[in-house]
Every structure is written in C-alpha cells, then in structure tokens.
Amino acid sequence: MKHFSIDEFNCKETGENKMNSEFLQRLDLLREACGFPFVITSGYRSPSHSIEIKKAKPGTHAQGIAADIMVNSSAQRRAVVEAAIQLGFNGIGVHDDFVHVDIRKSARVLWCY
C-alpha cells in the first residue's frame, strides 16, 4: 500500500487484522483520487467486537472489506463520497465526521448515520 500501513486497520478491541487485499488496493486509489491524507477510524473488526456482536451476522468490517475515513469538512466528505462512487465502492455511509466505504457484493447502497 502506498498511503497506509496495515496496522492502521487493526481491530480496536482485539488487535486482529484480516483486511482484504483487494479492498486495501481500492482504498489506496480512493486516497490518491481525494488528494488528502486519510485517518482510518475503523478498519477490521473482529466478529467479537462490541459493535459486531450486536448484529445478526458480522458486517463488512468483520469481513475485512470496509473502513471508516475521518473527514474534517463538508468538502472532504463530498470528495470521499464522489470518488468512492466513481471507483465502484458498493457501500457508502455518510456521518458528520466520517465516511464508511466498503466493497460488499450486494447492490450499491448509500446511507446517512
């Protein structure tokens, strides 16, 4: 990876890291397209992570195909969302201070937190 170290994606609760290499390559392209540094607030989450354990089945973070990217302005938020759409990320979630991106296999979805 050009813009990240693998440790940035470690599970915050267990330290595990089972990130998908295709996802990480796409995330590098997204970072390149946006032109500003990314801070990853959530990468891999173990299925035993406190967020994942509440779900009926582990989500995209637990599959290693998702990350949450901190954004500091509406301009950064828009840049991440627009570039993610262009690069074919199938899941995009928009929050005030982060954007979730993933490469789920299902239909494309966009949501707000």
pLDDT tens digits, one per residue of 66-87: 999 999 999 999 999 999 999 9
Parallel, antiparallel or unpaired: strands 109-112 and 98-102? unpaired
Residue 92 lies in a domain: yes
pLDDT tens digits, one per residue of 16-67: 999 999 999 999 999 999 999 999 999 999 999 999 999 999 899 999 999 9
Parallel, antiparallel or unpaired: strands 109-112 and 91-94? parallel
Phi, psi of 98, rounded to the nearest 5 degrees? -155, 160
Q: 53: domain range? A: 6-112
How buried is residue 58: exposed, middle or buried, by Cβ count under 10 Å (0-12/13-18/19+)?
middle
Instruction: Give the three-class secondary structure for 112.
Output: strand
Residue 1 lies in a domain: no
The four Cα atoms 64, 71, 87, 17 give a dihedral, to 10 degrees, of -10
Q: Which CATH number is 104's domain given?
A: 3.30.1380.10
Residue 62 lies in a domain: yes
Domain count, the chain: 1
